[in-house]
A and B are shown apart, each in its own frame.
With several copies, the nearest count.
Chain A
């Protein structure tokens, strides 16, 4: 399950809804990761562009990767503006056993940061400024500049 929301996520609602969805699926472990906008560098908030087709295929590939472990993944992300102390990202894993859940949430969140086609902007002084220094080139980037 991949959800995109306009603006901030309603964290309690999402955490409760996912928990209820899997209430009788016999998973022993549920680990959500909630990402919240921090006050730093004088920003008023963050803003996000999401490219949904590639995000969906990336997410589906992760689903296929963890299915043999008995795990399922869910994710919610914001589009547009999210202000200080609001949340923009929730990733969650359900699995029968805790080790799989703990290892999966770590690997999923790290790959999300490195690969998911989402772009972050600082909201500052009424402007929307690409967070270039905090962004990561996707694996394989630079292809167009190769010679030969």
Chain B
């Protein structure tokens, strides 16, 4: 199992799912209508490191985080 957490304004509880790559997580989230507004503008971190490929492998216990557009300051 891996977990998916939604940061900042995405009002969504943590998900748990089976997935061995980030691509499998993407396939699940793309089916979710409440995610439609976030899919195209979120950055993605695995275990708190930003990643750039859907082929990023996932292992048991990994944490995937979705980071929507930011505005600190």
Contacts and interface: CB of A to CB of B under 8 A. Distances in A.
User: Are A and B direct contacts in the complex by CB distance below 8 Å?
Assistant: yes
Interface string B43-63: 111001111111000000000
Interface residues of B, number: 31
Contact of B7 (A51, A116, A120, A143): A51
Given A51-B67, A54-B67, A119-B8, A144 B26 contact: yes
A21 interface: no
B50 A145 contact: no
Contact of B70 (A98, A117, A142, A144): A117
Given A54-B67, A135-B68, 11 more contacts: A51-B65, A54-B65, A77-B72, A113-B70, A119-B70, A131-B71, A138-B43, A141-B41, A142-B41, A143-B51, A144-B22
19 contacts: A51-B7, A88-B73, A98-B73, A112-B72, A115-B70, A117-B8, A117-B70, A130-B9, A135-B69, A136-B70, A137-B42, A138-B43, A138-B70, A141-B67, A142-B40, A143-B26, A144-B42, A145-B26, A146-B54
Nearest to A115: B70
A145 B43 contact: no
Contacts of B45: 54
Interface string B6-32: 011100000000000010011001100
Contact of B71 (A54, A57, A118, A140): A118
A107 interface: no
A103 B68 CA distance: 28
A123 B69 CA distance: 18
A140 B43 contact: yes
Contacts of A5: none
B1 interface: no
